Structures are given as structure tokens and as C-alpha cells.
Amino acid sequence: MINLVPDGLDGERVDLAGARITGWSRSTVGEQIEAGRVHLDGVTVVKPSQRVKAGQMLDIEEPDRPVARIEPRLAAGLAIVHLDDAVVVVDKPAGVAAHPSLGWSGPDVLAHLAAAGVTVAEAGPPERQGIVQRLDVGTSGLMVVARTMPAYSHLKDQFRAHTVEKLYHAVVQGHPDPAAGTVDAPIGHAGGRQWRFMVRGDGRASVTHYETIELMRGAALLEVHLETGRTHQIRVHMQALRHPLVGDLVYGADPVLSARLGLERQWLHAVRLSFIHPATGQSVSFDSSPSPDLVRALELLREVS
């Protein structure tokens, strides 16, 4: 896997740079270095502490492990809202993963794009090529995928610098107090269970900004901005505030309320995505309306308020 070191990783350790580019752990990249399977501008890397420079070519051979493969397959309800030579923006329904993974047999964004004839950047692990952000399977809304190497690097730098606007609407149980605020709490795996996360001191820095925009009986509609983009971030932070997302049984939602609303997933939708277009340098913004199941649940909550 050959990648161009982006400006945002200039001066970083090669194991850290490799982990951020590929999405693998630093230990995995370190193992590849020890095995002589990492090269920088054609020269074999011998120390994980070696520093990289922007513009260098970092070649990391695939580890000997099973990986998921992209199998072209259209995903029902997935819409391509913008397509050009550099990027593709999709509106993802719930029940569709961002990319294939071992153990997941359902549809995914990359499989849909492949079936639709949309090529993506050959950057990142084989099962995540072109992916610069992800949405949970149960979260609907907007995602951007890079189609070229320069676009991939440019978008990665934007996400890393927290300059991408990621706006969500979320419905939580109860009324947050204060009605608006910031949750600055690190997130890590919960007790070794890979599919669940929690606030923990040794986790990765995670910052969520929220504002209540509507109160209902026993619930509130929030506007949520993500400063960082950790797995399950909004879900974990809302649970930490003791206001889990309605319908989110994994993170403490009331199953009786979820059943009454007909929700089989968390009430969370990525409504706006704004970034600097990597080819034009212009600011672009895309909007999405919540899906029918979320709209219906919100209407039921309003009826009893």
C-alpha cells in the first residue's frame, strides 16, 4: 500500500503516520516495520521513531491477516447527492455500513459505489479505500468519500484539523441541563468489548457540542456539532450525560419507549456536512432531511407533549 505523506503528518513518527494513513494500530505498523515491510521513498524503515516528511511516499505492505473485500452491491435507499472527479457525497440510510468488515454481511457504501461504477481513491486499507469519515450502521445521513489521492490527503487533513462542519440532529431522553454545552471527555473501548465504547481517562480525546432546539415530554431534540469524530461519540457522550439517544438500546435507552415509537435504532441523523473542496478550494455544504422512521418517531413524541 503506497501513500503520499500529507502535510498534516509532516514531522510525525513513521509508526504514527502509518497508523493514521492506513487506519491500522501503531502496533500493527510497528510489526510491519520490524518485519522490514515498510519503506519510505523506497528505503526500508528500521525504526518506528523515524520521522516522515510531507510529500514522501510511504509504502506499507499488507499484514498477514484476513480482510474484508468490497463486493459490488447496491444498497437500497442510499443516494448520491454530489459527484465530481475528486469527491462523492452520499446520503446513507440506516442499516448500511460505511465499508465492508469481517462479520458484517449487510450492504455498505463502498460496495454501492462500486456497483454504481463510481471509483474511489486507492488509499487506506483495501476494505476502506477512499474513506475519510464513517457513520455507524444505525446512523443515517451524509458522508463524503475521496475519489483521488490528493482529495484523500486534503480531506484527511481537514478532519484532523477539525475544520469540517459535521452537524447532527439527535433526540435524547429527558431534558439536558444545561440546555446547551460541551462534552469534553475521552472515549475508549468498554471492557474489551470491541463494539461498545465508554468515557474513560485513557481514551482518545473527544469533544461534542450540543444545543437543545426543541423540548417534548420526556425528550429533547438537539443540534450536535462534532469537534472530533470518534466511534459512537455522540451516543457515548449523551449516555455519559444520562440522556441516552432515544432508541439506542446499546447505550441505555428505554426499550419500552423505543418500541412505542417504532424505533429499531438510535435517533441520530447527520443533517449537514461542510468542508473545503479539495480540488477547487471553495467551501461546499450539503444538507439532508431525517429519514421517515425518525420523522415518525419525532411526530409521536410531539403528539404527547
Q: Is residue 248 in some structural domain?
A: yes
More confident residue, 190 or 237: 237
Mean pLDDT of 52-60: 92
- Asked whether residue 56 falls in the same domain as residue 109, the answer is no
- Asked whether residue 145 falls in the same domain as residue 199, the answer is no
- Asked whether residue 84 falls in the same domain as residue 51, the answer is no
Cis peptide before 244 (omega within 30 of 0): no
Q: What are φ and ψ of residue 112, in 5° steps? A: -65, -45
Q: Is residue 281 in some structural domain?
A: no
Distances (CA, A) of 179 to 75, 172, 212, 215: 37, 12, 5, 10
- Asked whether residue 120 falls in the same domain as residue 230, the answer is no
CA distance 277 to 288: 18
- Asked whether residue 141 falls in the same domain as residue 245, the answer is no
Q: Is residue 194 in some structural domain?
A: yes
Burial bucket for residue 26 (CB in 10 Å: 0-12, 13-18, 19+): middle
How many structural domains does the chain have? 3
Listed range (49-58, 124-133, 295-304) with the worst mean pLDDT: 124-133
Catalytic residue among 136, 157, 177, 293: 136
Question: Which ranges constitute the DSSP H helices of the chain?
Answer: 14-22, 26-34, 109-115, 149-160, 233-240, 255-261, 292-303
Q: Report pLDDT for 181.
A: 97
- Asked whether residue 188 falls in the same domain as residue 118, the answer is no
Q: Is residue 170 in some structural domain?
A: yes
- Asked whether residue 222 falls in the same domain as residue 255, the answer is yes
CA distance 45 to 32: 10
CATH of the domain at 179: 3.30.2350.10
Distances (CA, A) of 67 to 20, 104, 107, 163: 18, 12, 16, 31
Whole-number percent of the chain with pLDDT over 90: 70
More confident residue, 14 or 195: 14
- pTM of the full predicted structure? 0.79
Q: State the average pLDDT for the chain.
A: 91
Mean pLDDT of 247-262: 95
- Asked whether residue 172 falls in the same domain as residue 299, the answer is yes
Q: Is residue 66 in some structural domain?
A: no
- Positive/negative CA dihedral, 83, 86, 89, 95: positive
pLDDT at 66 over 70: no
Q: Is residue 226 in some structural domain?
A: yes
- Give the domain-ending residue among 126, 161, 196: 161
Q: Report pLDDT for 93.
A: 96
Q: Report pLDDT for 122.
A: 85
- Positive/negative CA dihedral, 187, 15, 133, 164: positive
- Tell me which DSSP letter residue 250 carries: G
Q: Is residue 71 in some structural domain?
A: no
Q: Report pLDDT for 196.
A: 87
- Asked whether residue 219 falls in the same domain as residue 297, the answer is yes
Q: Is residue 230 in some structural domain?
A: yes
β pairing state of 268-276 and 193-199: unpaired
pLDDT at 131 over 70: yes
Question: Which ranges constitute the DSSP H helices of 82-217?
Answer: 109-115, 149-160
pLDDT in tens, 272-296: 999 999 999 999 999 999 999 999 9
Q: Report pLDDT for 105.
A: 83
Q: Report pLDDT for 64.
A: 67
- Asked whether residue 182 falls in the same domain as residue 296, the answer is yes
pLDDT at 133 over 80: yes
Helix (H/G/I), strand (E/B), else coil: 5: coil
Q: Report pLDDT for 103.
A: 73
pLDDT in tens, 148-196: 999 999 999 999 889 999 999 999 999 999 999 999 999 988 875 557 8
Tell me if residue 248 is catalytic: no
Q: Which domain holds residue 39?
A: 2-60
CATH of the domain at 21: 3.10.290.10
- Asked whether residue 101 falls in the same domain as residue 155, the answer is yes
